Amino acid sequence: MKSSSSSEKQKIIDQFSQFVSKGKADFFKKYNMDFVMGSRDGAILQDIDGNKNLINLHCNGGVFNLGHRNPELIDLLKSSLDELDIGNHHLISKERAKLAKMIAELMPGDLDITVFGVSGGEAVDLALKTARAATKRQEIISASGGYHGHTGLALSAGDSEYITPFGDRLPGFTQVQFGDISELTKQISNNTAAVILETIPATSGIILPDKSYLKEVRRLCDLHGVILILDEVQAGLGRTGKLWAFEHFDIIPDIVVLGKGLSGGLYPITATVLSKKLATVFEENPFSHISTFGGSELGCRIAIRVLEISSNPEFLEKVNRLNDLFETKLSKLRKKYPSFFINYRGLGLMMGLMLRDETAGPVLTKTAYDEGLLLVYANNDTSVCQFLPPLNLDESIIDDIMDKLDRAMNSARKLRVLLNAKNTISRWRTRTG
């Protein structure tokens, strides 16, 4: 007989399947990963039936940079509810003004104007609209394998996998290989409105660009009068050991898109940060772009504190210290499993575990889950698992993380061999009838 907690969990899964997503419910059931989030704290998630814990090494792409249910941010949200609500996007807002001023002070150059939203896709859409309006051009260049969200313009700037089920890529969008400056040189022209790139592409497998690449992109954009947009929805806010990832590459974009971690994991808020010259697009008609819930005054309060924490030099020093600790331990694992764990790459705590082949990422995701780690493979390069722990991770649990990861890799390399053998037999039987 099932326990009451197990029965309640199954009821939730059934309701989710019936009313939210049968596809997701079936997927997790198939791989025996039907985890239902219950209590959560810091880096730890607990299944709702209390029978399984996970250490979060993905953080929903950076949403939980400061951990789950950060006590300081929760207290701030509670106290803010005594005086604020979401505000009114039609009116001037003290909270939005304060947050936008802070962002401007933390950004280099003349990145002084912020337009708020509630999702990364919305923020990217606004960036692309601004570039088209400012240049009076339509062509947009993005990187193949990239990801910028699931809304209209953002979707067309992303990988075809996310577009094809719903139709065709919108006219005017072209993709080039990330890191290939010669290909960009051939595509960019005086008809190009914008080049949009993730500073460090996450869904493509945490690709670290060559030091000169982004500088060359900046030069080409300047040469052709093209707007350079850097998507730091995942890479920003200290994830790479600097407040903004583009600081590693000594360039200043024309537009920066921020999201995920800005919310503190508590209140959705995103930001499209524009250079002052581009903000003139909205001066004649300031209501040409609106977002009812963008820049909620409650969200602004949270985001201000997130920025205060994330920009603190001691906080960034800790991110880099954690990186050093993990790199030392990952290097040992690489030597232990050289035919499975090929290498690792990234900056700060935005890291990718580079594995044997495209089957290895999904397999390690599963075996890591079985060991109590939430680790997710990169969807557009499944030979890589994203390694994105909270930036304020308690160092005392690192050894436990690495012990679990060690066992997960050992299981994954064995399971991968077994799966490949089964696939080979299946293909042979198909060919021989």
| Same domain membership, residue 327 and residue 189 | no
Task: Please determine, for residue 431, whether its predicted confidence score (pLDDT) is greater than 90.
Answer: no
Average pLDDT, integer, range 323-330 = 97
Last residue of a domain, one of 22, 44, 64: 64
**Tokens (6 digits) for 374:** 């939430």
Whether 160 is covered by a domain: the verdict is yes
Is residue 77 within 8 A of residue 301, CB to CB? The reply is yes
Claim to verify: residue 146 and residue 35 sit in the same structural domain = no
Q: Is residue 30 part of a domain?
A: yes
pLDDT at residue 432 in the model: 44
Q: What is the pLDDT of residue 3?
A: 55
Residue 423 or 367, more confident = 367
Identify whether residues 286 and 333 lie together within a single domain: no
Q: Do 364 and 375 meet the contact criterion of CB atoms below 8 Å apart?
A: yes
Average pLDDT over residues 381-400: 97
Do residues 31 and 126 share a domain? Answer: no
Mean pLDDT is lowest, of 159-163, 194-198, 241-245, 359-363, for: 159-163
In a domain, 195, yes or no: yes
Q: What is the mean pLDDT of the chain?
A: 94
Domain assignment present for residue 127? The answer is: yes
At which residue do the structure tokens 């869904």 appear? 203
Q: Which helix (H) or strand (E) holds 370?
A: helix 360-371
Whether 430 is in a domain gets the answer no
Confidence check: pLDDT of 421 > 70: no
Residues 234 and 98 in one domain: yes
For residue range 138-183, list pLDDT tens digits in order: 999 999 999 999 999 999 999 888 899 999 999 999 999 999 999 9
User: Can you tell me the distance from the alpha carbon of 294 to that of 119, in angstroms, rounded to the nearest whole number?
Assistant: 9
Kindly state whether residue 416 falls inside one of the protein's structural domains.
no
- pLDDT in the model for residue 161: 87
Q: What is the pLDDT of residue 430?
A: 47
Within a 13 Å sphere around the CA of 22, how many CA atoms are in the beta-carbon half?
1
Q: Is pLDDT at 364 greater than 90 in this prediction?
A: yes
Tell which residue, 56, 67, 28, has the closest CA to residue 318.
Answer: 67
What average pLDDT score do residues 98-119 get? Answer: 98
Percentage with pLDDT > 90 across the chain: 91
CA dist., res. 289 & res. 295, Å (int): 13
Angle, alpha carbons 370-61-393 (nearest 5°): 70
> Do residues 29 and 101 both lie within one domain?
no
Q: Identity (one letter) of the amino acid at 61? A: G
Are the C-beta atoms of residues 305 and 267 closer than 8 Å to each other?
no
Q: Which domain holds residue 398?
A: 315-338+394-407
Assess whether pLDDT exceeds 50 at residue 184: yes
Q: Does residue 239 carry a pLDDT above 70? A: yes
Query: Residue 56: what pLDDT?
Result: 98
Using DSSP bridges, classify how beta strands 111-117 and 270-275 pair: parallel, antiparallel or unpaired: antiparallel
Which of 70, 89, 181, 162 lies closest to 124, judged by CA?
162
Q: How many structural domains comprise the chain?
A: 3
Host H or E run for residue 110: none
383 within domain boundaries: no
Last residue of a domain, one of 295, 310, 325: 310
323 and 178 together in one domain: no
**420 occurs within a structural domain:** no
Whether residue 226 sits in one domain with residue 95: yes
Do 285 and 235 sit in the same domain of this protein? yes
Type of residue found at 16: F
pLDDT at 241: 98
What is this structure's pTM?
0.94
**pLDDT recorded at residue 211:** 86
Asked if residues 246 and 209 have their Cβ atoms less than 8 Å apart, the reply is: no
Average pLDDT over residues 178-203: 97
Q: Which of 266, 291, 310 is the last residue of a domain?
A: 310
For residue 297, how far is the Cα from the chain centroid? Answer: 24
**8 Å CB contact between 271 and 262:** yes
